[in-house]
A and B are shown apart, each in its own frame.
Chain A
Amino acid sequence: MFKKKAKKREKIDIIFNIIVTFFAVLSLFPLYWLVTSSFKNSSDVVKMPPDWFPKTFTWSNYTDVFNNQPAFTWTYNSLVVALVSTFALIIVSSLAAYAFSKLQFKGKNILFIIFISSLMIPKEVMIVPLFRIIQDFGMVNTLSGMIFPNVATAFGVFLLKGFFDTIPDSLREAAKIDGASEFKIFYKIMLPLAKPGIGALFILNFVQVWNDYLWQLVVGQDKASKTLMVGVATLMQDLNPNFAYKMAGATVAAIPMLLIFIFFQKYFTKGITLGSDK
């Protein structure tokens, strides 16, 4: 960038970049292998030496996953859990983030400190009491049981407060003089201005909940209440020796994430880096 004009590149820099590029391509290889294997028939997929590209191209592994397994139900469950958790998180945490950023109330700072301190605690370490709460609410084997703990995280508050902080207070004061209620100011003025933050939160949380495993495994024990990640993982214990069929299941679970990544790459970079330099 800044050294365009001067200085030829050092040899060591060139070597490093060749290594980095080589490993980058290599790190995509497992996914290439996944997708191509999913189109092979059951004998070709285990053939050694392997075909680097499917010789006979078949969709039957995919139709098998959807016909012999409740893969539609699993996909639907995953979508509901990820979407509802994410929308609920956005509503709840944008309200709180706005209050922490723009309103003055007693105990605000101490409350915020407590919220932020919880950021690092993974819900997995309290999976036993959490599961018992869900049990008491009668939410085992329900999607709500999977959704609630995901909305309780302080991550959204932390991320969105940063965005509200960049919006000038004068906007709020002007609206106040015009007689707008606090909620109206939040909803009509501040929320639209915080859109980039909400976008980043939406994608980060959607991906996280979609890819979550342990909690969904524990709550969704029936075949019908499993999410896609958990359902697909059960294919591993399936006695069907056809690997291609299991790879087809894994591909189905991976595709939405790959699409999201291709279309929203910049949101990721923004959202992921937010935690580190705040």
Chain B
Amino acid sequence: MMRMKIIKESNKENITGYLFVAPQILLFLIFLVYPIIEGIRLSLFQINYQDEIFVGLDNYRKLFSDPVFIQSTINTVIFVVFIVALTVVFAMFVSAAVFDKNAKYVSFIRGAYYIPVMVSMVVMSMIWSFLLNPANGLIPFVARELEVASVNFLGDTRLVLPVIIFVTFATNVGQAIILYIASMIGVPKELFEAAEVDGASRMKVIFKIIIPMVKPTTIYIIIMNIIAVLKIFVVIQLLTGGGPNNASTTLMYYLYNNAFKYNQLGIASAVGVIMFLITLLLSIPQLRIMFKKD
């Protein structure tokens, strides 16, 4: 009798549990799991308006012989490396300088750097496009006044990458600053007190205590930013349209063009699969940390 009741109870609890998670699972299956599987399938087909022809790995083969795809990949890697490095170094610098100051000042610094993140890449890209406009933008004007040679920042193949790297970095660094400040405030005070007793300089405290203590945050910021930069799109579309001469095109922009401009759904899906695999690989270290703590 008793055992029957327990079994019945646990069955009931099982069913209640499933009912609670059912809506989320349903959405998850339709809009997340299925698209991943379908994306992999589509990447193996050549898709016209009417029919789908199985072509195996042909789409992938085509990709690697397309110079625009190669260019997009190289650009994306350059963006990832420089934007992530700039973000980590600068955010660490800002946070290490301010984290132990008074609360009002910290919240001003945090806010000032975070507001560009808040107002979105679309708005920021529009402002930068206005500021950089070669005919009447403020920045080319200042460059002319200072007699710096080139003023066509977005039309010059050598300048376009650094400019986009800067714009993206300047718009998004606030997120990393918030994370670092929170993490540095959380470092146990005894460590600083001990360092003070030893008479350690501030630089020494930063390099020997703070930076090692916030390592998990650094890993998190690096991974999150790599994934964010990987899917960089808005700034490319609004500032350069991938130009000049594909000099600033990225994987996401390439994917978008193939999917929604050239109607090459198979090719676009193949790019999506490649990007999916990269993000999956990248997220493994972070997931490990998250599960360890759970």
Binding site for B on A (CB under 8 A): 1-3, 6-7, 10, 12-13, 16-17, 19-21, 23-25, 27-28, 30-31, 33-34, 37, 46-50, 91-93, 95-96, 98-100, 103-106, 108, 111, 113, 115-133, 148-149, 151-154, 157, 182, 186, 207, 210-211, 213-214, 218, 229, 232-233, 235-236, 243, 246-247, 249-250, 253-254, 257-258, 260-261, 265, 268-269, 272-273, 275-278
Taking the nearest CB of chain B, how far is it from the CB of A147, in angstroms? Answer: 11
8 A-B residue pairings within 8 Å (CB atoms): A16-B93, A31-B119, A93-B24, A129-B269, A133-B38, A152-B31, A269-B182, A276-B182
Docked complex Cα distance between A47 and B179 (Å): 40
Interface size on B, residues (CB 8 A): 107
Closest chain A residue to B129, Cβ basis:
A236
Docked complex Cα distance between A127 and B127 (Å): 27
Which residues in A have their C-beta under 8 angstroms from that of B282?
120
- A272-B178 contact, Cβ under 8 Å, with A13-B97, A95-B20, A128-B39: yes
Contact A273 B255 (CB under 8 A): no
Contact A157 B24 (CB under 8 A): yes
Which residues in A have their C-beta under 8 angstroms from that of B113?
24, 27
Contact A1 B27 (CB under 8 A): no
Docked complex Cα distance between A258 and B116 (Å): 9
- Interface stretch among B67-75, B76-84, B188-196? B188-196
Closest chain A residue to B291, Cβ basis:
A113
Contact B110 A269 (CB under 8 A): yes
Q: Mark B192-206, 1 if CB is under 8 A from A, else 0.
A: 110010000111000
Q: Which of B13, B127, B186 has the most CB of A within 10 A?
A: B127
B244 an interface residue at 8 Å Cβ cutoff?
no
For the complex, would chain A's binding face be called helix, strand, loop or mixed by DSSP majority?
helix
Contact B275 A125 (CB under 8 A): yes
Which residues in B have their C-beta under 8 angstroms from that of A133?
30-31, 34-35, 38
Query: What's the count of A-B pairs with C-beta under 8 Å?
Result: 300
Contact A20 B97 (CB under 8 A): yes
Contact A268 B114 (CB under 8 A): yes
Contact B118 A24 (CB under 8 A): no
B130 an interface residue at 8 Å Cβ cutoff?
yes
Contact A132 B141 (CB under 8 A): no
Which residues in A have their C-beta under 8 angstroms from that of B224?
275
Q: Which of B103-120 contact A (CB under 8 A)?
A: 107-116, 118-120
Contact B23 A95 (CB under 8 A): yes
Taking the nearest CB of chain B, how far is it from the CB of A105, in angstroms? Answer: 3
Contact B17 A105 (CB under 8 A): yes
- A50-B123 contact, Cβ under 8 Å, with A214-B233, A246-B130: no
Docked complex Cα distance between A254 and B119 (Å): 5
Contact B120 A229 (CB under 8 A): yes
Q: Which of B19-49 contact A (CB under 8 A)?
A: 20-21, 23-25, 27-28, 30-32, 34-36, 38-39, 42
Closest chain B residue to A113, Cβ basis:
B291
Which residues in A have their C-beta under 8 angstroms from that of B23?
91-92, 95-96
Closest chain A residue to B219, Cβ basis:
A276
Docked complex Cα distance between A115 and B118 (Å): 27
Q: Mark B276-294, 1 if CB is under 8 A from A, else 0.
A: 1001101100110011010
Which residues in B have their C-beta under 8 angstroms from that of A153?
32
Contact A104 B272 (CB under 8 A): no
Docked complex Cα distance between A7 and B112 (Å): 29
Contact B179 A278 (CB under 8 A): no
Which of A30, A96, A127, A152 interacts with B255 by CB under 8 Å?
Answer: A127
